[in-house]
Chains A and B, each alone.
Chain A
Amino acid sequence: MTEILERRSAITGLGQSAIGRNLERTNLDLTLEAVLAAIEDAGLARADIDGLATFPGGALNARDAGRYASAGVRDVQDALRLELGWSHGGAEGPAPLGAVVAACLAIASGLARHVVVWRTVTESSQQGSGSRAEVAHAAGLGNARVDGYRQWSIPFGAGSSANLLALYTQAHFDRYGTTREQLAQIALTDRANAADNPRAVFREPLSLDEYLGARMISTPLCLFDCDLPVDGATAVVVSHVDAAPDARRPAAHVHAVGTAMRGRPSWDQFDDLTTMAARDAAAHLWSRSDLTTADVDLAQLYDGFSFLALAWLEALGFCEPGTGGEFVEGGKRIARDGDVPLNTCGGQLSAGRLHGFGLLHEACLQLRGDSGDRQLDAPQTAVVANGGGPVAGCMLLTRGTP
């Protein structure tokens, strides 16, 4: 077998800023809080850091900035006066996890030894007025017309990812008989887990009746199927595996990544409207490992919308295509004491939309044994998945050994 070069990397440090709604702090401020915490957590000094990577980078065009803006590599390098051998910021890749994958490859090739990777969001502040400004902004309302790929959806009122995900969810419902009661289990499981996460934003219990009675956003997705915009930053230190024993806490070793992008990378042209790019990224992941789903002790699956987590369960092979509804029915299999403990921090639906990095952070915490009241019993292997629709990336992380 080809050498799996990402296996030369391990996540040695974790940091998070304050997380909450309308924190009224700048993106860079939140980013630096998380970055410095991660460096400290790894037992490193600023001088040890020779690489930076982030999604989506700081150079996105103004149209995207409202929603995706993040402190860029240059901002962080300058603020901390780092001396870097390598850096990377970019949005076109295997979802936000692409920044971690880039860091692994830089480490494998010797371009860097300790890379700080972050994702920062200020979506809560951006949306504070409730105006969903990013949609109107993306539509160019009030000035320019819509061009690029958005012209194929926004003029038809499909301005939000909620609409695009709803189209996929309905296709799954139609083809496989998946129900809202089944889908609800993603949101209910997240909420149950959030109760034991002091950093989660929504921690009060959520019942099936409340879910079913919630207002519709875009059928069949209701309010509780949509994640929660927050402000916050998450950072991890990715180090060469040789340095992992020096970390203060047990490192999460990168065992394999899945980054495939096949089919057509757009919402309405993807070949199968019940699967998404997750299907191919997941297949790619398993092609780079001898582990199987039976080895996985916990799953941190992207839940920007509830259906995405269900689609990832199918894509990763925890259940057959089309049977995700059945698999999660009743919630037992995906509970913390179930076969596939899912989104143990509360996921993005309840803990807040940290754009996938919150899930990565939680996977590492669990592997380290640092998850507090929600800690699983000595997990050894975690799968983390990011993305929806035409973008997807996933990773297998292991404790102790690559």
Chain B
Amino acid sequence: MSTDAPTRPLPALTPETEFFWTSGVDGRLRFLRCGDCYSYVHPPAPVCPQCASRSVAPEPVTGRGTVATFTVNHQDWGLMDPPYVIAIVELVEQPGLRLTTNLVNVEAGAVAGGMAVQVCFEQVDDVWFPLFEPAT
């Protein structure tokens, strides 16, 4: 199933979020990570929520994770062409390090909670959307 519908809305690139939305330019997914306690921070924030340190900076992750939960959207919300799979993926780096994304290169009926996935990117203009596909 493809999700490369041309209507995917684009996020604004701000000083706080630009690194995330353009991270895929070199094929790597990045999250903010605390330089003091090494916790990952997402969505991006100016301080580490664990230790309140301000030394948070983008750091690449493996891009591997599992499907925490998913849904197959059938309704046309004027955003993308249905049907498509929306999932919350949890990265292997840290429990609770999650993002909402789309699962691609997989039949909707084959998606299951807990399945292993890996990041891939879809570039639209200046944004590299982190999407996920079954892990190899």
Contacts and interface: CB of A to CB of B under 8 A. Distances in A.
Given A156-B86, A167-B100, 10 more contacts: A136-B79, A139-B78, A141-B79, A145-B11, A145-B12, A152-B43, A155-B8, A157-B3, A159-B77, A268-B88
A171 B113 contact: yes
Given A132-B77, A157-B102, A163 B71 contact: yes
B69 A155 contact: no
Nearest to B42: A269
Given A157-B73, A219-B74, A163 B12 contact: no
Indicate the size class of the contact surface on chain A.
35 or more
B15 interface: no
B94 to A, nearest CB: 12
B19 interface: no
Of A174, A175, A219, most B-chain CB atoms within 10 Å: A219
A153 to B, nearest CB: 5
> Chain B's interface: helix, strand, loop or mixed, by majority?
loop
Contact of B9 (A131, A154, A221): A154
Interface of B: 3, 7-14, 17, 42-43, 68-75, 77-80, 82, 84, 86-88, 96, 98-102, 112-114, 127, 129
A147 B69 contact: no
A285 B58 CA distance: 40
A167 B101 CA distance: 12
Given A146-B10, A167-B88, A170-B113, A218 B72 contact: yes
A162 B75 contact: yes
B96 A271 contact: yes
A216 B77 CA distance: 13
Contacts, number: 130
The 10 closest A-B pairs by CB, nearest first: A166-B71, A171-B69, A151-B11, A145-B12, A157-B80, A174-B113, A147-B12, A159-B77, A139-B9, A136-B78
Nearest to B5: A157
19 contacts: A139-B9, A140-B9, A141-B79, A145-B13, A147-B11, A154-B79, A155-B9, A155-B10, A157-B82, A157-B86, A159-B78, A163-B71, A163-B86, A167-B69, A167-B86, A169-B71, A217-B74, A268-B100, A269-B96
A155 B75 contact: no
A357 interface: no
Contacts of A131: 78
Most chain A beta-carbon neighbours within 10 Å: one of B75, B78, B113: B75
Nearest to A273: B69
B69 A157 contact: no
Contacts of B12: 144-147, 151
Interface string A123-165: 0000000011001100111001111010111111111101100
A132 B78 contact: yes
A167 B127 CA distance: 25
Given A146-B9, A160-B77, A167 B84 contact: no
A174 B70 CA distance: 10
B45 to A, nearest CB: 11
Nearest to B82: A157
Given A141-B9, A170-B69, A216-B74, A158 B86 contact: yes
A118 interface: no
B33 to A, nearest CB: 16
A151 to B, nearest CB: 4
A88 B42 CA distance: 33
A167 to B, nearest CB: 5
A149 to B, nearest CB: 8
Contact of A135 (B17, B78, B100, B101): B78
A170 B9 contact: no
Q: Which of A141, A159, A168 has the largest number of chain B CB atoms within 10 A?
A: A159
Contacts of A155: 8-11, 127, 129
Contact of B100 (A132, A158, A217): A158
B77 A135 contact: yes
Contacts of B17: 151
Nearest to B89: A268
Given A170-B113, A218-B71, A269-B96, A147 B14 contact: yes
Contacts of A215: 74
A312 to B, nearest CB: 19
A139 B11 CA distance: 9
B129 A217 contact: no
A174 B14 CA distance: 37
A269 B69 contact: no
A157 B76 CA distance: 9
Contact of A139 (B43, B79, B88, B112): B79
